Structure 1
């Protein structure tokens, strides 16, 4: 079967066999690209992330911040991406180092959950209780989700990625896409750190399931409202309650469910 890489490297075209209406046919299908990126911090191997090959710098910055390696973008002295080999080299500023007992080499899969063995190690110091006073209307919730979905050409072409955006109640500021939901969120976090965008008054819009990991990521970023097209888990709802985050799920058509802190959503 023929395989052709797309110009943007985020997808490729492949000949496949499709069954439909009691018949087989050969068609061209668009397949999302999966790419391993190994991160070195101060010369030491830190993590290998399986991701969509776009916005590498943002993802690395957001990931290091979410893991507590850095608090601010200025704590990175240099960041180099060797895309041809799949390496990211980070040098921390001012002699900053990592504690060996706290961090170790790891592999981060494109799925959530148990592939991230270190999940609870740094959450205590990096997860923040939301202090957001932002409010938005029901129609704004629906419109933000619609806008994010309309922007995602990669999802329309492949159906194989997660979409995430940060915005105000009125509009989306930035959107990112990745095969890993945590990668998409890290890209947003990195973008905000690089561009010094305050997030306390912002809204996180997300296409995937609201898992506890997603809620934890949202809390690390610092937003107070998370909008999702999909369902939440029970632990995600409990975390949202504890962390003062408004969790909204099943935004489809003209309806949605508010699972925690509904005071931020008005008719």
Structure 2
């Protein structure tokens, strides 16, 4: 399915108007069924849906590992995904009625966000990850060049998985949580080693985004935008490196400066 569509708009500039074609981001409701029982509807960008489903189910604790999932059948025409699992974490699904996750920023996942999440994430070891400031700027430049749908529509968030020199994979979505879930799902399916990797992100680093980054297993997150105070405090507790406002050869290092070769 297409991640964007064309729409005729009236463009206004300098007191002049004319009709032109504009690109708009696609918005697609995907309803997930677990063992024939409706679980949730996620509003997303309709690409890499299997990555999204796997990343979401594991990051939210519905299943524990990819091996718990036996089959995923996606019917794109109707917006339905049928997941067959041999194990479902009943603690995270019982007593829950149908949930609907919008694509908005804010607390878009509040109804499906488990308060114990932060306590279940282990602090990141220092490891061998070391990166120079110039490498951070180069990664952000690569990231901007690869954000084609954002430049086309202005309506999506982007996330990428990197090492110290290059972007390994990138995903985009109208929902910033969804973009990270797609990255997580790909890492799980391809069994990528992530302890020495970096998440690069287009949006604000909220506490929820910070927790999701820690669940993926990386130790550093880079963004053009800013972190929140709670995200910074959690990053300190989890020993994560957070870098924001990366632009014009400048950046703010909020936590974990020991991983950056200043």
Q: Report the TM range for the smaller structure's normalisation.
A: over 0.9
- Structure 2 residues not aligned, in runs of 5+: none
**Quick check: 1:68–1:125 contact (8 Å CA) kept in 2?**
no
- 1:127 pairs, out of 121, 125, 137, with 121
- Structure 1 residues not aligned, in runs of 5+: 1-7
Provide the TM-score with structure 2 as the length reference. Answer: 0.94
Report the equivalent of 1:163. Answer: 158
1:67-216 alignment runs, 5 A limit: 67-93=60-86, 95-96=87-88, 98-99=90-91, 100-101=93-94, 103-116=96-109, 117-121=111-115, 123-124=117-118, 126-133=120-127, 134-216=129-211
- CA distance 1:42–1:182, shift in 2 (3 Å): same
What is the CA-CA distance between 1:253 and the residue it aligns to?
1.7
Report the equivalent of 1:40. Answer: 33
- CA distance 1:143–1:176, shift in 2 (3 Å): same
Question: Which deviates the most, 69-78 or 46-55?
Answer: 69-78
Aligned length: 259
Question: Which deviates the most, 169-178 or 105-114?
Answer: 105-114
**Quick check: 2:61–2:89 contact (8 Å CA) kept in 1?**
no
- CA distance 1:70–1:29, shift in 2 (3 Å): same
Please give the per-residue CA displacement for 1:153-205, whole angstroms capped at 9, x wherever unaligned. 11111111111000111111100010110000000000000000011110000
RMSD: 1.6
Provide the TM-score with structure 1 as the length reference. Answer: 0.92
Report the equivalent of 1:234. Answer: 229
Query: In the alignment, does 2:239 pair up with 1:244?
Result: yes
- 1:64 pairs, out of 54, 57, 62, with 57
What is the CA-CA distance between 1:98 and the residue it aligns to?
2.6
Runs of at least 4 residues off by over 4 Å? none
Report the equivalent of 2:19. Answer: 26
**Quick check: 1:107–1:115 contact (8 Å CA) kept in 2?**
no
